Chain A
Amino acid sequence: MAQYFDIDDILAEDELVPAVFKEAANGVGIFDSSDDTNRVEAGSKAELPFWLASELHLRQAVSINVPLVSIKSKLLIISDDFLMCCFSSVYMVFLNVRTREEIEADAAHVDLRKRCPYFYELGCKLAHLIDDRILSDKNIGPVLFVAFQTRYKDVLVKAHTSALSVTAKNLTLLTREETKLYETAQSSTAAFKKWKMGGPRFQKAYVLGRKRKPTE
Protein backbone atom coordinates (compact mmCIF):
# COMPACT_ATOMS: atom_id res chain seq x y z
CA MET A 1 0.00 0.00 0.00
CA ALA A 2 1.73 3.08 -1.17
CA GLN A 3 -0.37 5.28 1.01
CA TYR A 4 0.42 3.74 4.33
CA PHE A 5 3.86 5.27 4.55
CA ASP A 6 3.15 8.41 2.62
CA ILE A 7 3.61 11.40 4.87
CA ASP A 8 1.12 13.49 2.99
CA ASP A 9 -1.47 10.82 3.35
CA ILE A 10 -0.93 10.57 7.06
CA LEU A 11 -1.17 14.29 7.50
CA ALA A 12 -4.26 14.47 5.35
CA GLU A 13 -6.02 11.93 7.46
CA ASP A 14 -5.19 13.92 10.53
CA GLU A 15 -7.56 16.67 9.63
CA LEU A 16 -10.50 17.07 11.94
CA VAL A 17 -13.98 16.25 10.79
CA PRO A 18 -17.12 16.91 12.75
CA ALA A 19 -18.92 13.78 13.77
CA VAL A 20 -21.95 12.82 15.76
CA PHE A 21 -21.75 9.85 18.04
CA LYS A 22 -24.58 7.47 17.47
CA GLU A 23 -23.88 5.41 20.54
CA ALA A 24 -22.46 6.24 23.90
CA ALA A 25 -18.78 5.57 24.29
CA ASN A 26 -16.77 5.06 27.44
CA GLY A 27 -13.35 6.25 28.21
CA VAL A 28 -13.17 8.94 25.55
CA GLY A 29 -14.22 11.89 27.63
CA ILE A 30 -11.55 13.94 25.98
CA PHE A 31 -13.89 14.58 23.09
CA ASP A 32 -16.64 16.03 25.17
CA SER A 33 -15.34 18.28 27.87
CA SER A 34 -18.63 19.59 29.08
CA ASP A 35 -18.86 17.33 32.14
CA ASP A 36 -16.53 15.35 34.28
CA THR A 37 -17.59 11.84 33.41
CA ASN A 38 -15.27 9.98 31.13
CA ARG A 39 -17.80 9.15 28.50
CA VAL A 40 -19.54 10.56 25.50
CA GLU A 41 -23.28 10.34 25.17
CA ALA A 42 -25.07 9.27 22.03
CA GLY A 43 -25.98 12.16 19.83
CA SER A 44 -23.21 14.45 21.00
CA LYS A 45 -21.02 16.21 18.53
CA ALA A 46 -17.27 16.09 18.49
CA GLU A 47 -14.42 16.86 16.15
CA LEU A 48 -12.50 13.74 15.37
CA PRO A 49 -9.50 13.19 13.15
CA PHE A 50 -10.49 11.62 9.91
CA TRP A 51 -8.74 8.31 10.44
CA LEU A 52 -10.70 7.79 13.61
CA ALA A 53 -13.97 9.00 12.20
CA SER A 54 -13.86 6.75 9.17
CA GLU A 55 -13.10 3.65 11.19
CA LEU A 56 -15.90 4.38 13.60
CA HIS A 57 -18.17 5.13 10.71
CA LEU A 58 -17.54 1.73 9.23
CA ARG A 59 -18.54 0.27 12.54
CA GLN A 60 -21.66 2.41 12.54
CA ALA A 61 -20.68 4.12 15.75
CA VAL A 62 -20.63 7.69 14.47
CA SER A 63 -22.18 9.54 11.67
CA ILE A 64 -20.21 12.29 10.07
CA ASN A 65 -22.40 15.28 9.92
CA VAL A 66 -22.68 18.73 8.57
CA PRO A 67 -21.77 21.58 10.85
CA LEU A 68 -24.24 24.41 11.16
CA VAL A 69 -22.40 27.16 9.46
CA SER A 70 -24.92 28.79 7.28
CA ILE A 71 -28.66 29.14 7.20
CA LYS A 72 -29.06 27.22 4.00
CA SER A 73 -27.37 24.17 5.32
CA LYS A 74 -29.43 24.22 8.50
CA LEU A 75 -32.60 23.52 6.59
CA LEU A 76 -30.94 20.70 4.81
CA ILE A 77 -29.86 19.13 8.06
CA ILE A 78 -33.40 18.82 9.21
CA SER A 79 -34.40 17.04 6.07
CA ASP A 80 -31.26 14.93 6.33
CA ASP A 81 -32.27 13.48 9.63
CA PHE A 82 -35.58 12.39 8.33
CA LEU A 83 -34.25 10.84 5.22
CA MET A 84 -31.25 9.06 6.54
CA CYS A 85 -31.08 7.23 9.79
CA CYS A 86 -27.87 5.32 9.56
CA PHE A 87 -26.50 6.62 6.32
CA SER A 88 -24.03 9.33 6.75
CA SER A 89 -23.78 12.37 4.64
CA VAL A 90 -20.41 13.94 4.71
CA TYR A 91 -20.16 17.67 4.79
CA MET A 92 -17.02 19.11 6.06
CA VAL A 93 -16.18 22.48 7.37
CA PHE A 94 -14.36 23.24 4.23
CA LEU A 95 -17.12 22.04 1.97
CA ASN A 96 -19.95 24.09 3.31
CA VAL A 97 -22.18 26.04 1.04
CA ARG A 98 -20.15 29.19 1.34
CA THR A 99 -16.97 27.51 0.16
CA ARG A 100 -18.77 25.94 -2.73
CA GLU A 101 -20.16 29.24 -3.82
CA GLU A 102 -16.76 30.79 -3.61
CA ILE A 103 -15.31 28.06 -5.74
CA GLU A 104 -17.99 28.51 -8.31
CA ALA A 105 -17.43 32.21 -8.38
CA ASP A 106 -13.69 32.31 -8.71
CA ALA A 107 -11.84 29.15 -7.93
CA ALA A 108 -8.45 30.65 -8.35
CA HIS A 109 -8.68 32.90 -5.33
CA VAL A 110 -10.27 30.68 -2.77
CA ASP A 111 -7.91 30.29 0.09
CA LEU A 112 -7.91 26.56 0.35
CA ARG A 113 -4.82 26.31 2.42
CA LYS A 114 -6.34 28.20 5.30
CA ARG A 115 -9.36 25.98 5.34
CA CYS A 116 -7.69 22.69 4.72
CA PRO A 117 -4.24 22.17 3.24
CA TYR A 118 -5.15 18.70 2.15
CA PHE A 119 -8.27 19.67 0.32
CA TYR A 120 -8.04 17.24 -2.54
CA GLU A 121 -6.77 14.22 -0.68
CA LEU A 122 -9.30 14.48 2.05
CA GLY A 123 -12.07 15.13 -0.41
CA CYS A 124 -11.19 11.95 -2.25
CA LYS A 125 -11.36 9.94 0.92
CA LEU A 126 -14.61 11.48 1.97
CA ALA A 127 -16.16 10.72 -1.38
CA HIS A 128 -15.98 7.06 -0.53
CA LEU A 129 -18.16 7.60 2.47
CA ILE A 130 -20.64 9.87 0.84
CA ASP A 131 -24.02 8.72 -0.24
CA ASP A 132 -24.95 10.42 -3.42
CA ARG A 133 -28.46 9.25 -3.88
CA ILE A 134 -29.98 11.34 -1.19
CA LEU A 135 -28.78 14.81 -1.97
CA SER A 136 -27.55 14.94 -5.49
CA ASP A 137 -26.53 18.54 -5.48
CA LYS A 138 -23.98 18.16 -2.77
CA ASN A 139 -21.51 15.93 -4.45
CA ILE A 140 -17.98 16.39 -3.41
CA GLY A 141 -16.39 14.90 -6.48
CA PRO A 142 -17.37 17.42 -9.12
CA VAL A 143 -16.72 20.29 -6.77
CA LEU A 144 -13.19 19.15 -6.17
CA PHE A 145 -12.63 18.47 -9.78
CA VAL A 146 -13.91 21.77 -11.02
CA ALA A 147 -11.94 23.62 -8.40
CA PHE A 148 -8.76 21.88 -9.36
CA GLN A 149 -9.31 22.41 -13.03
CA THR A 150 -9.59 26.15 -12.76
CA ARG A 151 -6.82 26.56 -10.26
CA TYR A 152 -4.58 24.31 -12.24
CA LYS A 153 -4.54 26.68 -15.15
CA ASP A 154 -3.41 29.45 -12.91
CA VAL A 155 -0.71 27.35 -11.32
CA LEU A 156 0.54 26.21 -14.66
CA VAL A 157 0.97 29.63 -16.11
CA LYS A 158 2.53 31.14 -13.06
CA ALA A 159 4.88 28.32 -12.32
CA HIS A 160 6.62 28.35 -15.62
CA THR A 161 6.83 31.96 -16.41
CA SER A 162 7.36 33.83 -13.21
CA ALA A 163 10.75 35.09 -12.23
CA LEU A 164 12.52 33.33 -9.44
CA SER A 165 11.94 35.85 -6.71
CA VAL A 166 8.34 36.67 -7.42
CA THR A 167 5.97 35.22 -4.88
CA ALA A 168 2.47 35.86 -5.98
CA LYS A 169 -0.17 35.99 -3.36
CA ASN A 170 -1.76 33.05 -5.08
CA LEU A 171 0.95 30.86 -3.71
CA THR A 172 -0.37 31.17 -0.21
CA LEU A 173 -3.74 29.94 -1.36
CA LEU A 174 -2.58 26.65 -2.75
CA THR A 175 -3.06 23.38 -1.02
CA ARG A 176 -0.20 21.07 -0.31
CA GLU A 177 -0.72 19.14 -3.48
CA GLU A 178 -0.78 22.16 -5.70
CA THR A 179 2.29 23.56 -4.03
CA LYS A 180 4.12 20.39 -4.87
CA LEU A 181 3.22 20.76 -8.51
CA TYR A 182 4.21 24.37 -8.49
CA GLU A 183 7.56 23.62 -6.95
CA THR A 184 8.41 20.94 -9.45
CA ALA A 185 7.72 23.30 -12.30
CA GLN A 186 9.72 26.03 -10.64
CA SER A 187 12.70 23.82 -10.01
CA SER A 188 12.77 22.53 -13.55
CA THR A 189 12.66 25.99 -15.08
CA ALA A 190 15.28 27.18 -12.64
CA ALA A 191 17.55 24.29 -13.48
CA PHE A 192 17.13 24.97 -17.17
CA LYS A 193 17.97 28.64 -16.76
CA LYS A 194 21.01 27.80 -14.74
CA TRP A 195 22.18 25.42 -17.39
CA LYS A 196 21.64 27.99 -20.07
CA MET A 197 23.89 30.45 -18.30
CA GLY A 198 26.72 28.04 -18.56
CA GLY A 199 29.62 28.53 -16.29
CA PRO A 200 31.59 25.93 -14.43
CA ARG A 201 29.65 22.79 -14.06
CA PHE A 202 31.60 21.11 -11.39
CA GLN A 203 29.85 20.07 -8.27
CA LYS A 204 31.88 19.97 -5.14
CA ALA A 205 31.84 16.62 -3.47
CA TYR A 206 29.84 16.63 -0.30
CA VAL A 207 32.61 15.18 1.83
CA LEU A 208 34.92 18.04 1.03
CA GLY A 209 32.66 20.60 2.56
CA ARG A 210 32.58 19.13 5.99
CA LYS A 211 35.18 20.46 8.29
CA ARG A 212 36.82 18.14 10.67
CA LYS A 213 36.50 19.10 14.27
CA PRO A 214 39.87 19.73 15.81
CA THR A 215 40.74 16.98 18.20
CA GLU A 216 41.63 18.32 21.54
Chain B
Amino acid sequence: MSDHENFTIILSFFFRTMDDTLIAQMEFLAEDELVEIVPNMRMDPINLICGDFGPFRPQIATQVPLWLAVALKKRGKCTIRPPEWMSVDKLTQVLEAERDTGRVFQPLPFHYVEISRLLFDHARDDIPDIYMVKSLIEDIKDVRFHKIGTGLETISGRTNAVKLSNLSAMEVNIVRPFLAGALQTFYKLHNPEMVPESERRGSRRPQGADRGARRTLKPR
Protein backbone atom coordinates (compact mmCIF):
# COMPACT_ATOMS: atom_id res chain seq x y z
CA MET B 1 0.00 0.00 0.00
CA SER B 2 2.72 2.48 0.88
CA ASP B 3 4.69 1.49 -2.16
CA HIS B 4 1.71 2.19 -4.28
CA GLU B 5 1.23 5.57 -2.67
CA ASN B 6 4.80 6.56 -3.21
CA PHE B 7 4.48 5.70 -6.83
CA THR B 8 1.38 7.81 -7.07
CA ILE B 9 3.04 10.77 -5.45
CA ILE B 10 6.05 10.60 -7.71
CA LEU B 11 3.97 10.32 -10.80
CA SER B 12 1.77 13.21 -9.82
CA PHE B 13 4.74 15.50 -10.28
CA PHE B 14 4.98 14.50 -13.89
CA PHE B 15 1.30 14.38 -14.48
CA ARG B 16 1.06 18.04 -15.24
CA THR B 17 -0.76 19.66 -18.03
CA MET B 18 1.28 21.22 -20.72
CA ASP B 19 1.08 24.91 -20.94
CA ASP B 20 2.64 27.47 -23.15
CA THR B 21 5.60 28.07 -20.94
CA LEU B 22 6.70 24.49 -21.25
CA ILE B 23 6.85 24.73 -25.01
CA ALA B 24 8.63 28.04 -24.79
CA GLN B 25 11.16 26.36 -22.55
CA MET B 26 11.74 23.68 -25.16
CA GLU B 27 12.38 26.35 -27.70
CA PHE B 28 14.77 28.06 -25.36
CA LEU B 29 16.73 24.88 -24.92
CA ALA B 30 16.73 24.24 -28.63
CA GLU B 31 18.41 27.54 -29.23
CA ASP B 32 21.58 26.21 -27.69
CA GLU B 33 22.28 24.00 -30.65
CA LEU B 34 25.18 25.00 -32.84
CA VAL B 35 24.61 26.08 -36.38
CA GLU B 36 26.91 27.37 -39.02
CA ILE B 37 26.73 30.95 -40.12
CA VAL B 38 28.53 32.98 -42.71
CA PRO B 39 29.08 36.43 -41.31
CA ASN B 40 29.43 39.42 -43.54
CA MET B 41 31.18 41.63 -41.07
CA ARG B 42 34.28 41.54 -39.03
CA MET B 43 34.19 41.11 -35.31
CA ASP B 44 36.50 40.08 -32.54
CA PRO B 45 35.88 36.91 -30.63
CA ILE B 46 33.14 37.18 -28.06
CA ASN B 47 33.55 35.47 -24.73
CA LEU B 48 30.37 34.13 -23.27
CA ILE B 49 29.71 31.93 -20.32
CA CYS B 50 28.77 29.07 -22.58
CA GLY B 51 31.90 29.38 -24.68
CA ASP B 52 34.00 31.57 -26.89
CA PHE B 53 32.86 32.27 -30.43
CA GLY B 54 34.62 34.03 -33.18
CA PRO B 55 36.59 35.73 -34.48
CA PHE B 56 34.14 36.62 -37.18
CA ARG B 57 35.59 37.36 -40.56
CA PRO B 58 33.55 37.99 -43.66
CA GLN B 59 32.69 34.93 -45.72
CA ILE B 60 34.31 32.54 -43.32
CA ALA B 61 31.86 30.10 -41.76
CA THR B 62 31.79 29.71 -37.99
CA GLN B 63 29.76 27.72 -35.56
CA VAL B 64 27.62 29.64 -33.14
CA PRO B 65 24.61 28.81 -31.00
CA LEU B 66 21.29 29.22 -32.69
CA TRP B 67 20.18 32.13 -30.55
CA LEU B 68 23.26 34.07 -31.50
CA ALA B 69 22.80 33.21 -35.14
CA VAL B 70 19.22 34.42 -35.11
CA ALA B 71 20.20 37.61 -33.33
CA LEU B 72 22.92 38.33 -35.85
CA LYS B 73 20.63 37.50 -38.70
CA LYS B 74 18.02 39.90 -37.44
CA ARG B 75 20.58 42.64 -37.56
CA GLY B 76 21.60 41.64 -41.02
CA LYS B 77 25.09 40.64 -40.10
CA CYS B 78 25.20 37.10 -41.34
CA THR B 79 23.49 34.43 -43.31
CA ILE B 80 22.64 31.15 -41.71
CA ARG B 81 23.62 27.96 -43.42
CA PRO B 82 20.94 25.34 -42.87
CA PRO B 83 22.10 22.26 -40.98
CA GLU B 84 22.96 19.27 -43.08
CA TRP B 85 19.95 17.23 -42.04
CA MET B 86 17.72 19.89 -43.46
CA SER B 87 18.29 19.24 -47.15
CA VAL B 88 15.52 17.99 -49.36
CA ASP B 89 17.34 14.74 -50.11
CA LYS B 90 18.04 13.83 -46.54
CA LEU B 91 14.53 14.67 -45.46
CA THR B 92 12.98 12.67 -48.25
CA GLN B 93 15.13 9.77 -47.22
CA VAL B 94 14.02 10.09 -43.62
CA LEU B 95 10.41 10.36 -44.64
CA GLU B 96 10.59 7.22 -46.73
CA ALA B 97 12.25 5.35 -43.91
CA GLU B 98 9.63 6.56 -41.43
CA ARG B 99 6.85 5.40 -43.64
CA ASP B 100 8.36 2.00 -44.22
CA THR B 101 9.32 0.97 -40.74
CA GLY B 102 6.32 0.34 -38.59
CA ARG B 103 7.59 0.95 -35.13
CA VAL B 104 11.05 2.36 -35.35
CA PHE B 105 11.65 6.04 -35.28
CA GLN B 106 14.36 7.45 -37.44
CA PRO B 107 17.19 9.25 -35.73
CA LEU B 108 16.61 12.93 -36.05
CA PRO B 109 18.08 15.83 -34.16
CA PHE B 110 16.50 16.09 -30.79
CA HIS B 111 15.09 19.53 -31.37
CA TYR B 112 14.34 19.31 -35.03
CA VAL B 113 10.89 20.81 -34.67
CA GLU B 114 12.06 23.87 -32.83
CA ILE B 115 15.14 24.41 -34.92
CA SER B 116 13.22 24.13 -38.15
CA ARG B 117 10.59 26.54 -36.98
CA LEU B 118 13.13 29.10 -35.86
CA LEU B 119 14.95 28.88 -39.14
CA PHE B 120 11.78 29.20 -41.14
CA ASP B 121 10.81 32.27 -39.24
CA HIS B 122 14.07 34.10 -39.41
CA ALA B 123 16.14 32.70 -42.22
CA ARG B 124 13.69 32.17 -45.04
CA ASP B 125 16.00 33.18 -47.80
CA ASP B 126 18.86 31.04 -46.65
CA ILE B 127 17.16 27.74 -47.11
CA PRO B 128 16.91 26.40 -50.61
CA ASP B 129 13.52 24.95 -51.59
CA ILE B 130 11.98 26.17 -48.41
CA TYR B 131 8.47 25.08 -49.24
CA MET B 132 9.57 21.59 -50.03
CA VAL B 133 11.56 21.37 -46.83
CA LYS B 134 8.67 22.73 -44.82
CA SER B 135 6.20 20.25 -46.20
CA LEU B 136 8.64 17.38 -45.72
CA ILE B 137 9.17 18.24 -42.10
CA GLU B 138 5.44 18.51 -41.57
CA ASP B 139 4.95 15.08 -43.08
CA ILE B 140 7.68 13.58 -40.98
CA LYS B 141 6.12 15.05 -37.89
CA ASP B 142 2.70 13.65 -38.75
CA VAL B 143 4.03 10.20 -39.47
CA ARG B 144 5.91 10.10 -36.20
CA PHE B 145 2.92 11.24 -34.22
CA HIS B 146 0.84 8.59 -35.82
CA LYS B 147 3.43 6.00 -34.92
CA ILE B 148 3.40 7.15 -31.34
CA GLY B 149 -0.34 6.76 -31.29
CA THR B 150 -0.34 3.25 -32.64
CA GLY B 151 2.46 2.27 -30.34
CA LEU B 152 0.69 3.57 -27.28
CA GLU B 153 -2.37 1.54 -28.06
CA THR B 154 -0.56 -1.60 -27.14
CA ILE B 155 0.15 -0.65 -23.58
CA SER B 156 -1.27 -3.25 -21.31
CA GLY B 157 -1.46 -3.54 -17.57
CA ARG B 158 1.85 -5.27 -17.30
CA THR B 159 3.79 -2.42 -18.80
CA ASN B 160 6.22 -1.00 -16.34
CA ALA B 161 7.91 1.43 -18.66
CA VAL B 162 7.43 2.56 -22.18
CA LYS B 163 10.54 2.99 -24.23
CA LEU B 164 10.42 5.11 -27.31
CA SER B 165 13.75 5.49 -29.01
CA ASN B 166 14.73 8.43 -31.14
CA LEU B 167 11.87 10.61 -30.16
CA SER B 168 12.31 14.33 -30.39
CA ALA B 169 11.89 16.84 -27.62
CA MET B 170 8.59 18.27 -28.73
CA GLU B 171 6.97 14.90 -29.24
CA VAL B 172 8.10 13.72 -25.86
CA ASN B 173 6.64 16.76 -24.20
CA ILE B 174 3.34 16.45 -25.92
CA VAL B 175 2.69 12.86 -24.97
CA ARG B 176 4.26 12.92 -21.56
CA PRO B 177 1.32 14.13 -19.45
CA PHE B 178 -1.09 11.79 -21.13
CA LEU B 179 1.25 8.85 -20.98
CA ALA B 180 2.12 9.38 -17.34
CA GLY B 181 -1.53 9.51 -16.41
CA ALA B 182 -2.42 6.49 -18.44
CA LEU B 183 0.42 4.42 -17.03
CA GLN B 184 -0.55 5.47 -13.55
CA THR B 185 -4.11 4.37 -14.05
CA PHE B 186 -3.04 1.10 -15.55
CA TYR B 187 -0.75 0.49 -12.63
CA LYS B 188 -3.49 1.26 -10.16
CA LEU B 189 -5.95 -1.02 -11.83
CA HIS B 190 -3.54 -3.85 -12.28
CA ASN B 191 -2.29 -3.84 -8.73
CA PRO B 192 -1.67 -7.34 -7.45
CA GLU B 193 -4.39 -6.82 -4.88
CA MET B 194 -6.92 -6.26 -7.56
CA VAL B 195 -6.13 -9.20 -9.74
CA PRO B 196 -7.39 -12.34 -8.05
CA GLU B 197 -5.04 -14.97 -6.76
CA SER B 198 -6.10 -17.82 -8.97
CA GLU B 199 -5.58 -15.91 -12.18
CA ARG B 200 -2.19 -14.70 -11.14
CA ARG B 201 -0.74 -17.98 -10.16
CA GLY B 202 -1.59 -19.64 -13.39
CA SER B 203 -0.12 -17.15 -15.75
CA ARG B 204 2.84 -15.63 -14.00
CA ARG B 205 5.94 -16.55 -12.17
CA PRO B 206 6.27 -15.46 -8.54
CA GLN B 207 5.92 -11.77 -8.02
CA GLY B 208 9.50 -11.01 -7.20
CA ALA B 209 11.08 -12.22 -10.39
CA ASP B 210 8.46 -10.96 -12.76
CA ARG B 211 8.53 -7.43 -14.00
CA GLY B 212 6.11 -7.91 -16.79
CA ALA B 213 6.99 -7.82 -20.43
CA ARG B 214 9.33 -5.12 -21.51
CA ARG B 215 7.06 -3.11 -23.70
CA THR B 216 9.48 -1.47 -26.05
CA LEU B 217 8.06 0.20 -29.07
CA LYS B 218 11.20 -0.50 -31.00
CA PRO B 219 11.58 -4.14 -32.01
CA ARG B 220 14.81 -5.78 -31.13
Residues in chain A within 8 A of chain B (CB atoms) = 1-3, 120, 124, 127-128, 132, 136, 139-142, 144-145, 148-149, 152-153, 156-157, 159-161, 177, 180-181, 183-185, 187-189, 191-192, 194-196, 198, 201, 203
Known: A184-B17, A188-B18, A188-B173. A141 touches B189 (CB 8 A): yes
Chain B residues with CB under 8 Å of A148's CB are 185-186, 189
Shortest CB distance B191–A (Å): 7
Give 9 pairs: A residue, B residue, CB < 8 Å, sorted on A. Answer: A2-B9, A149-B186, A159-B178, A181-B178, A184-B177, A187-B19, A192-B170, A192-B174, A196-B117
A157 in contact with B12 (CB, 8 Å): no
Q: Are A160 and B145 in contact (CB under 8 A)?
A: yes
A194 to B27, CA, bound (A): 13
| Residues of chain B at the chain A interface (Cβ within 8 Å) | 5, 8-9, 12, 15, 17-20, 22-24, 27, 117, 121, 145, 149, 152-153, 155-157, 170, 173-178, 181-182, 185-186, 188-191, 193-199
Q: From A188, which residue of chain B is reached at the shortest CB distance?
A: B18
**Within the complex, what minimum Cβ distance (angstroms) separates B8 from chain A?**
6
Contacts of A144 in B (CB 8 A): 189, 194
* Cβ–Cβ contact A185 & B19, under 8 A: no
- Are B157 and A145 in contact, CB atoms less than 8 angstroms apart? yes
CB distance from A91 to the nearest CB of B (A): 15
Q: Do A184 and B178 touch (CB < 8 A)? A: yes
Instruction: Please indicate the chain A residues that have their CB under 8 angstroms from the CB of B196 in the complex.
Output: 132, 136, 139, 141-142
- Tell me whether chain B's interface is mostly helix, strand or loop, or mixed: helix
In the bound complex, do residue B188 and residue A120 qualify as a contact, i.e. CB atoms below 8 Å apart? yes
Determine if A2 and B12 form an interchain contact, defined as CB atoms under 8 angstroms apart: yes
Query: In the bound complex, do residue B149 and residue A127 qualify as a contact, i.e. CB atoms below 8 Å apart?
Result: no
A-side interface mostly? helix
Which of A1, A194, A201 touches B5 (beta carbons < 8 Å)? Answer: A1
Report Cα–Cα, A194/B161, bound state, in Å: 30
Distance (whole angstroms) from the CB of A96 to the closest CB of chain B: 19
A120 to B184, CA, bound (A): 12
B197 — which chain A residues lie within 8 A by C-beta? Answer: 132
| Residues in A neighbouring B181, C-beta threshold 8 A | 180-181, 184
Task: Determine the distance from Cα of A156 to Cα of B20 in the docked complex, in whole angstroms.
Answer: 21
B67 → A minimal CB distance (Å): 15
CA distance A144 to B199 in the complex (A): 15
Question: Chain B residues near A196 (CB, 8 Å)?
Answer: 117
Residue of B nearest to A161 (CB): B149
Is the pair B174, A188 in contact by a Cβ cutoff of 8 Å?
yes
Contact (Cβ within 8 A) B189 A120: yes
Q: Least Cβ distance of A131 to chain B in Å?
A: 10
> Could you list 15 further interchain pairs (A-B, Cβ under 8 angstroms) beyond the known A149-B157, A195-B24?
A120-B188, A139-B196, A141-B196, A142-B199, A145-B189, A145-B190, A152-B182, A152-B185, A184-B177, A185-B178, A187-B19, A188-B18, A191-B20, A192-B18, A196-B117
Q: How far apart are B105's CB and chain A's nearest CB, in angstroms?
A: 17
| Assembled-state Cα–Cα distance A1/B9 (Å) | 9
Interfacial chain A residues near B157, Cβ < 8 Å: 145, 149
In the complex, what residues of A have CB within 8 A of residue B149's CB? 156-157, 160-161
Q: Which residues of A contact B155 (CB under 8 A)?
A: 152
What's the Cα separation between A50 and B72 when bound, in Å? 65
Residues on the B chain within 8 Å of A140, using CB: 194
User: Min CB distance, A126 to chain B, in Å?
Assistant: 10
The residue of chain A having its C-beta at the shortest distance from the C-beta of B180 within the complex is A184
Which A residues touch B19, using CB under 8 A?
187, 191
A190, B193: Cα distance in complex, Å: 38
Q: Which residues does chain B contribute within 8 Å of A183, judged by CB atoms?
A: 17
Q: In the bound complex, what is the Cα–Cα distance between A178 and B170 (angstroms)? A: 24
A160 to B181: give the CA distance in the assembly, Å: 14
